[in-house]
Every structure is written in structure tokens, then in C-alpha cells.
Amino acid sequence: MNAVELDHVTKTFGTTLAVDDLSLHVPAGSIYGFIGPNGSGKTTTLRMVLNIFRPDAGEIRLFGERPHGSRDARVGYLPEERGLYPRMKVREFLWFIGELRSGQARRPDVDAWLERFELTGCTERKIEALSKGMAQKVQFIAAVLGEPKLLVLDEPFSGLDPVNTDVLRRAVLDLRAGGATVVFSTHDMAMAERLCDFIFMIFRGRKVLDGTLTAIQDR
């Protein structure tokens, strides 16, 4: 079973060919890293997986189905542009997101995540008053509330210090152990090597490499 399938997907913006005839299969329960320099098409691809953008051509399926409606409750998303709801307080924001996602109160989950990410000291602070790294951790929690089956993380490690990078990396590994599929983008090959089961390398919208970590390291 694949969590995500892209078949010959193409996306243009005006005259820019952002994603060019891309095919990709993400096995359920794996961690799949998208790696490539800025402007290579990672975010555009992730946004198509999320049904934020429609491809010009080709087909995308999540868990074997074509996307329908707007937001899929099975999918959690950490967008590249952070900083939603700057005026809300941390805990209040996460309670709100948790209920929105799952239709039920997720307060114990919120507290457990705040503790895990060492954010218990700033639960009453407004999001706009957090450091970049703290805000990123809060947004990561927002993405995982409601136990998504598929987690899409756009540059989750950018701007994090080594300690927080490690906390986040372990959290991603635990989510996979709990059965989630994780797709994330990075421009850091070392991070991809430490985390991924599969690596997909993209350059100028085209697939350069795609395979298991060990197969790619061998090449």
C-alpha cells in the first residue's frame, strides 16, 4: 500500500515549469525525504500532495484515492511559511487546532507534546513573542495533533539548533513507529541520511534520484 502516488505530474506557473513529469510512490509507514536546492520544486510538489495546488497534468492519489474536497483529515501539514495566528497564546492555539482537526478536545495530547518539546514555560505566551525555533516546534505540534496517517513537513528543520533538531528528529521517528507516513523536504543531505527510508532528489522540477537510502548512498 502506498500512502502517496504521483503519476506523471506537471505543474507550471506562467512560463515557469515548477514540476516536470514527476512520478513517485511513497510506501505507507515510511519516511520519505525530498531533497533539492531552493526553487527546485519541493514545496510545489508537497502542495499538490495536499491538494492546495492542482497539477496541470498527471494524477495524485493518497491511500489509493484521488483527492476530493479540500482538507483531508488524515493529513497533517507543517507549511514552509510559519506563523499562523500570531496573537493567540501557545496552549490556546494548540487546543483550537486540535479540536478543529479531530472534532474532539485533544488537551492531554497538547500537554504531552508541550512537555516533550520543553515548551511548558511558554504556554501562556503569544505565538508572535516566541523565538523562531519555539514557534517552529509549536507548529510541528499543530501538524501532528489528531494523529494524522500522513505527515507532510516542509523544511521542518530549517532554523532549528542541534538540540531541537534532535528532539524533532526523534519525534518523527516515533510517529513512524506509530504507523504514520512522513514526507518532508530539506536541502540538507546529512539530515536526510539520518532520518529517511527513501530519498527523492529533485532539481529544476525533475527527478534526479529516487530510492532507498542505502541504494542512493551506494551510488
Ligand X SMILES: Nc1ncnc2c1ncn2[C@@H]1O[C@H](COP(=O)(O)OP(=O)(O)O)[C@@H](O)[C@H]1O
Cα(161)–Cα(7) distance, integer angstroms: 37
Give which of 185, 157, 181 is closest to 40, Cα–Cα: 185
Q: Which residues of 116-142 are buried (b: 16+ CB within 10 A; e: fewer)?
A: ebebeebbeeebeebeebbbbbbbbbb
Q: Which stretch binds Mg ion (CB under 5 A): 73-81, 82-90, 126-134, 156-164?
A: 73-81
Q: Which of 38, 70, 104, 214 binds ligand X (CB under 6 A)?
A: 38
Shortest Cβ 11–ligand X spacing (Å): 8
Q: Tell me the closest approach of the beta carbon of residue 52 to ligand X, in angstroms.
A: 10
H or E stretch including 194? helix 189-195
Is there binding between residue 36 and ligand X (CB under 6 A)?
yes
Closest CB to ligand X among residues 40, 136? 40
Site for Mg ion in 13-42 (CB under 5 A): 42
Among ligand X, Mg ion, none, partner that 54 touches (CB below 5 to 8 angstroms by kind): none
Using the rule CB under 6 A, is 106 a contact of ligand X?
no
Would you tell me how many other CB atoms lie within 10 Å of the CB of residue 178? Answer: 10
State in Å, rounded, how far the first CA of the chain is from the last one.
27
Rule CB under 6 A: say whether 156 interacts with ligand X: no
3-class secondary structure, 199: strand
In whole angstroms, the minimum distance from the beta carbon of 44 to ligand X comes to 3
Closest CA to 36 of 182, 200, 177, 191: 200
Question: Which spans in 63-161 are helix H?
Answer: 90-102, 107-116, 132-144
Least distance to ligand X, CB of residue 191, Å: 15
Q: Closest approach of Cβ 193 to ligand X, in Å?
A: 19
**From residue 41 to residue 80, what is the string marking binding to ligand X with x (rule CB under 6 A)?**
xxxx------------------------------------
User: Applying CB under 5 A, does 43 fall inside the site for Mg ion?
Assistant: yes
